[in-house]
Chains A and B, each alone.
Chain A
């Protein structure tokens, strides 16, 4: 077995020393260092993709705790008294009020998507080493990248409520620290999904096929 750790998928542009410009999609020799058309730096793969992705995901995981434990919204109302809402208590409140669709939207955007994103990024990082099921993993990356921004909805709700509710003595609404931590979680997972390079999965898949074909070669066959 001779496949080295840095070997590229033989069917890929990188195996021929060709880099795809990240900005203008021009294919050109990586030896040029900068894109001839748009002057962006050329790389065969996103630099330090896995390290960067894992570091950002770790940051998101750490901030996930304060994002869910701290209140995102403080409501001081002369009618209903003071209330501190965390993300989960907000969802529960919507559910108890009978607003099931809103409860589901917030539950999906603020709880399901961030967790699913963190898990799928970890799965993708693993897949970039094992090379299993590259098509499915590429699709998972595409979904993860697309869906992340929708988690920001809760932060916008807080911002809108703070902006619109200025009713003096009747009600005051102020943002809580949880909103900040949650926004950071969303941004970090978005950056993590973006720094992951799905082409690494195909490189790993090619290495896997390569070792498998070496192993299956009948040694003593005439």
Chain B
């Protein structure tokens, strides 16, 4: 993208304390902090759009890998049982907790799917200065879904489970586990590279 300073919008208001500012020009690599409460108002990464799109593509690839290969396998007394990523959800459903299974599914599968798929739909056309139908509404849904995306919390859960079971059985990590780690790194980096003020102004400038 061009490296000329852009105006995020004519005025800025802090989302935490509602202090009103006239927006300064923000160059790439700069960020604006609220003078009163310290909230981060605007951050512009160098080549934010390219960076975010590349990272989202990588996340999508890792997410597919994480879902097709075995995630964990467990050996005890000549028995072996394996689990794919989706097994976390189906196990709860089988044992009479379908609602809890669905919630876990939303947190570790649904939210990342919506975020990755949605960002691809929103970001890629922007390279051609285009905006696909429903992109605005979809991006609003992505902003909501970010809070419910708990892939990193799930990873901590995996590590705790490993230690919990380590004494009873031999656990081995599958390919999917490492893909999942890659997903977390790329998705976190992608989400922090996108500043939603900048993205909205780019979407506003794009033709439909």
The segment from A51-59, A62-70, A152-160 that touches chain B is: A152-160
Given A105-B160, A179-B97, A37-B204 contact (CB < 8 Å): yes
B18 touches A25 (CB 8 A): no
Which B residues are CB-close (under 8 A) to A175? 92, 95, 97, 100
Indicate if A209 sits at the interface (CB-CB under 8 A).
Answer: no
Question: Size range of the interface on B?
Answer: 35 or more
Given contacts A25-B9, A157-B157, contact A180 B100 (CB under 8 A): yes
Residues of A within 8 A of B73 (CB): 164
Kindly list the 3 A-B residue pairs having the minimum CB-CB distance in the complex, ordered from nearest: A156-B157, A163-B91, A12-B18
A5 to chain B, nearest CB (A): 17
Q: Mark each residue of chain A from 179 to 197: 1 if its CB lies under 8 Å from any CB of chain B, else 0.
A: 1100100010010001000
Contact among B77, B90, B100, B107 with A170 in the assembled complex (CB-CB below 8 Å)? B77
A18 to B12, CA, bound (A): 10
* Chain B residue at minimal CB-CB distance from A190: B147
Q: Mark B1-39, 1 if CB is under 8 A from A, else 0.
A: 000000011111101111110000000000000001111
Residue of A whose beta carbon sits closest to that of B136: A38
Q: Are A159 and B160 in contact, with the CB atoms below 8 A?
A: no
With A23-B140, A198-B16 already in contact, the answer to whether A105 and B150 are too (CB < 8 A) is no
- Which residue from chain A places its CB closest to the CB of B140 in the assembled complex? A23
Contacts of A11 in B (CB 8 A): 19-20, 36
- Residues of chain B within 8 A of A190, CB atoms compared: 147
> Which of B51-59, B113-121, B162-170 binds A?
B162-170
A to B CB contacts below 8 Å, 6 in the list: A11-B36, A12-B19, A12-B20, A25-B196, A157-B161, A175-B97
